[in-house]
Amino acid sequence: MANPYSTLQQRKEDLERALDSLSVHWGWFMALGIAQTLLGIVALGHVFAATLVSVVFIGALMIIGGAGQLVQAWRIKHWTGFLLWTLGGVLYLVAGLMAVINPVVGASLLTLLFGAILIGVGALRLWIWFNNRAQPGWQWIALSGFLTVAVGLLVAANWPGNSAWILGLLLGIDLLFHGWTLFFVSLTLRDRHKRRL
């Protein structure tokens, strides 16, 4: 039987080696962090443009996914799922093309979908909490569920007026926080690299 301490020690040594190899490239992490932070600031300053860019990007991904699904459907055309694969691919392709051609309508539909997803996820969290409410600490799941449902209802209630800015706002916030994270990771890696020299 393997010694759990030796396995844990081996994982720690593997992690140390991985961090040492990454620390050499701390500058790339810093550059990427700064770039993403600046892009996040730009996106927050121009939320409508950021919304349109994000919709076009999602539309392009849907076109690629739809084309891939159609190729797969025609490769398995003798299988029983051929029609479903083809239908799914066509729907993805058409939705992606609509989002790219008219990103304002795409933003409106994606915002409504976003609100619906938040409501669904919040309801699921509340259901999980309700079934486990006797457990200690599960009130945090309830709070999370209530907040998620509330945000989803706010998004849905203000639709379609919020469609012009909400996706751009989320993109800007995501870029900003990811940029900060990479920047601080780069500082840690830089300090590790200096200690090794």
Among all chains, which residue has been given the structure tokens 């945090």? Answer: 140
CA angle 152, 101, 57 (to 5 degrees): 60
Per-residue model confidence (pLDDT) at position 82: 75
Structure tokens at 109: 């539909």
pLDDT at res. 3:
63
**pLDDT tens for residues 106-138?**
888 888 888 899 899 989 989 988 887 777 777
* Under-70 pLDDT residues of the chain: 1-6, 79
Is the pTM for the entire model greater than 0.85? no
And the tokens for 7? 């396995």
| DSSP label of 46 | S
Alpha carbon distance 76, 189 (integer Å)? 48
Q: Where are the domains of the chain?
A: 29-196
In the chain, the amino acid numbered 178 is: H
Handedness of CA 116, 120, 123, 129 (dihedral sign): negative
